[in-house]
Amino acid sequence: MEELQDVVAESHSAQLALGATGLPIILSVLREERGNLDLVRGMLETLLSALGSEGNSHGNKGPVELGMLNSELLAREEGSASLLLSLLDVEDFFVRYRTLCLLIMLSRNSSVRLQEAVLATPQGLTRLMDMMQDREVIRNEALLLLTFLTRSAEEIQKIAVFEGVFEKLFNIIVEEGGCDGGIVVQDCLDLLNNILRGSPPNQNFLRETLGFQPVALLLKPRKSSSLSFSQQKTKNLLCILETVTLLLARDPAKELAEDANAIANQTVLMQNNVLDYLLILSIEGRVPAVAVRCVALKRIGDLIRGHARNAEILSKRMIEEEPALNAFLRLMLHNSDKDESAAAEYIIKCFCEGNTEGPDILAHLPLGSMLPHVLDTSKGKKDCERTSKLRSDLVEDRKTVSFTYTRLSCWRVGLKHKRGMSDGSFLASGLLSQEETLLGQKFTI
């Protein structure tokens, strides 16, 4: 047995021969001699070598293609996937671990066939779900396999949900230290996002059972957490922010007010203090990772978009002694990072969308009185360009058209509460273009 393993591991021609003629024999041995653990271990090791587990690290294209070919041949063998799934019941660590490794390789190279086999095998997915509560090494491999299996596989996602995948995932994440944990946390969040992505029923199941508190708490910074984020912590935070993105995603086929699932998600996320945690990640907590700050800002926009109550809560929120909305305007105008400025601008647009009182609230912010002190000739042109772009975007959207050129021009030059000035006086001063004046006359303030 050891000689066969060595030959297959070292010889590509032996791997090719095994894939062409030897797979039925190996599967027969696994099926009929499963009580002989030494023999079963040897067969599994030989299969792993034939599928390219030893050769892929050398950067040689040949072994990779050979492994993919053998994976496809193995997947085509009748009953191969169900046989491997049955080996997960064997009370032997090595057998279960190597079986999971084989299934992962099959999922990478022949994902559709394996997905079909898992669905066709009684209790097939249940066996894999049970592995999530096994010892750490087994559990980690099971997470990877389930992540591959749940990609674009609605039926598998549905079964996983009813098998308690949400509770199991959040338990593992907590055990691993939350967003301060390692790559296992990232794997858990990847699996979670696969199941939530584009699936209102799965999102509703989470909302109505565990609720969104487990999601919200992963956004909450720990008191002992350092501001110097590790690369892995940044990845974990981006993954949980993607979870929030999926929960707030709108159905493009529906109007804002008609998307009941998204509105319910907005409401429950706000009730679980997600706005507070997003503010810390974006603007309050001095988070060093720009990518995290930008995504957190955009999610604030999604949280209030088309949701009157959430927009009202944000309008009253203070960051130290400054209104949060004013902080976003300042970030939009004076931040050197264009992505962060664009994210802040997105919040302002979302605040005005479908919000008739939004423009008036923004017009009475302190920014007008602040601008003379912070604008200078070197920054003024760039700030005006940013404001002009926002102005153009808002006017194009009829839902926020009352946010007029006249009012935004007040912001641009650092004036405050100039609603009493006539369009003629603005035009005469050279601060308002003829085009802006005409548009200001067309739409009411």
Among 29, 51, 39, which Cα is nearest to 109's?
51
| pLDDT band at 6; cut points 50, 70, 90 | low
171-209 core/surface letters (b: 16 or more CB in 10 A; e: else):
ebbeebebbbbeebbbbbbbbbbbbbbebbebbebbbee
119 located within any domain: yes
- The CATH number of the domain holding residue 82 is 1.25.10.10
80 located within any domain: yes
* Burial (CB count <10 Å: 0-12, 13-18, 19+), residue 17: middle
Using only C-alpha atoms, what is the Rg of the chain? 29
- Give pLDDT tens digits for 182-223: 999 999 999 999 999 999 999 999 999 999 999 999 999 876
Flag the least confident range among 163-167, 333-337, 415-419, 427-431: 415-419
Number of compact structural domains in the chain = 1
98 located within any domain: yes
The helix/strand count (H/E) of the chain reads as: 28, 2
* Burial (CB count <10 Å: 0-12, 13-18, 19+), residue 32: exposed
Contact (Cβ atoms closer than 8 angstroms) between residue 309 and residue 267: yes
CA distances from 107 to 8, 71, 100, 195, 228 (A): 22, 9, 10, 17, 37
Chain centroid to CA 343: 17
Task: Give the per-residue pLDDT at 418.
Answer: 39
49 located within any domain: yes
Q: Read off the pLDDT of each residue in 60-69 and give the average, rounded to a whole number.
A: 62
The pTM of this model reads 0.81
30 located within any domain: yes
- Give pLDDT tens digits for 90-107: 999 999 999 999 999 888
305 located within any domain: no
Q: Which domain holds residue 104?
A: 1-155
144 located within any domain: yes
365 located within any domain: no
